[in-house]
Structure 1
Amino acid sequence: MRALDIDPVHGTRQTFRELCDVMSRPGTVSRVQTTPADYAITATLVDHEVTFHSSDEELTTALAGQGRYSAADPTAADIVHADGTPSWDVRDLERGSLVEPSEGATVIYRVEGLSETPKDGLTDVTVSGPGVNGTTTFGVGLPAAELSALADAQADYPRGVDAVFASDDRVAALPRSVTLRVADGPESSENDNGGDR
């Protein structure tokens, strides 16, 4: 993905390892070596076998130039990229089925900030479930309403969506298996995926 200044071998390989790490430790904010993180994650996950949606023209043009852009509406795409709060509703994305939960979408949010601790200007999200020792709280640069909608989209485990948040060189992830509590804002919400499994 040299069109995005991403090494197509070493950059994506390193990003894949970093993505696996944050997916296995939900709510943990880590730094990535390849930036911007949302582009690096997209370049790592999107190939000719998956469908993709993004309104970012630079990103879609680069993918198309590599023969890796199979466009789809957000409600049907395997991987969906959002620059901040999207125009579509995360609850309308593909959530898979009880038989094939892996068919649920992965959404990559480019956010204004990520913090490993609660921080002014960010929405606090408390996470529990597999991969979390008790609970962990981190800050995300998205409105509480969007994160509450994500909690709703993940409330029917094993169905749901996997979410990745990226801000410059920082990344965090919330797989569908976790329980979220959105602490800030009047739209606070909590999903219940049955606790640790």
Structure 2
Amino acid sequence: MMLDMVHDIQAAYRKLVDSMSRPGTISDLSDEAGKLEQVQGCLPATYIAALMLLDTEVTFKVVSEREAEVTHLLSQSTYAKDAQLEEADFIFILRDAAPGYLHSAMEAAKIGELTDPHSSATVIIETESVTCGTKLRLSGPGIQSTAKAEIHGTEAWIDIRAERNAEFPLGLDLIVTDTSHRILALPRTTQVVKEEI
């Protein structure tokens, strides 16, 4: 069975909206990912996120050792245009990106303007797992009191995200995808603190 570009992408999008509106909620894109043919260069959940989010009206940037290959794939699939990091509406930071690239990409990403806060970037980050790793405590809109999350990999993004999101409504929205086709969203309104062990 092949991925239905209308019904399956709409179903995946509803899951993403659920994760965005209730930060800490992990959505499973396994049903949609199982219908994909072999995807080269990025995780299936990342590719599905690209199909949901990219179109002819937006720009994107891929940060990866396989940047040219994945950029071509996303351009061909969505007709979105590749852009410089500082101008991109969506930034895809893949698992094979060199250490430090996540930090520098988040430093360079646009956070919008007070007259147009929606002109900010959404950063999509690939990781091994969104169910084990650095333990995080989340708070803010959409969360009763606090929620917990775990993300495998570097913790460097936590501080830079807090800096870039300090002047609400400006800031970056984050979407994290993993190797098990799961997705976790951290909107700019969500406060993220590393839990001390």
TM over 0.5: yes
* Percentage of pairs with the same residue: 31
Q: Deviations over 1:98-123 (max 9, x none)?
A: 221111100111111111xxx4xx11
Q: Helix, strand or coil for the counterpart of 1:63? A: helix
1:89 aligns with 2:105: yes
Picking from 71, 79, 85, the partner of 1:68 is: 79
> Pairwise mapping of residues 1-197 of structure 1 onto structure 2 (< 5 A)?
6-32=3-29, 33-35=31-33, 36-54=44-62, 55=64, 56-66=67-77, 68-84=79-95, 87=101, 88-115=104-131, 119=132, 122-168=133-179, 169-183=181-195
How far the C-alpha of 1:57 sits from its partner, in A, is: 4.0
Q: Which amino acid aligns with 1:26?
A: P
Cα distance change of structure 1 residues 51 and 27 upon mapping to structure 2, 3 Å threshold: same
Task: Assess if the C-alpha contact under 8 Å between 1:123 and 1:144 holds in 2.
Answer: yes
Mapped partners of 2:28, 2:53: distance in 1: 18
Mapped partners of 2:58, 2:196: distance in 1: 35
Mapped partners of 1:151, 1:142: distance in 2: 18
Alignment length (residue pairs): 176
Task: Assess if the C-alpha contact under 8 Å between 1:107 and 1:164 holds in 2.
Answer: yes
Q: Deviations over 1:45-75 (max 9, x none)?
A: 0001101001344432223224613111122
Point out the structure with the larger strand share: 2
TM-score with structure 2 setting the length: 0.81
Q: List structure 1 segments (4+ residues) > 3 angstroms apart after TM superposition.
A: 55-59
Unaligned runs of 5+ in 1: 186-197
Mapped partners of 2:152, 2:196: distance in 1: 12
CA RMSD between the two structures = 2.0
Unaligned runs of 5+ in 2: 34-43
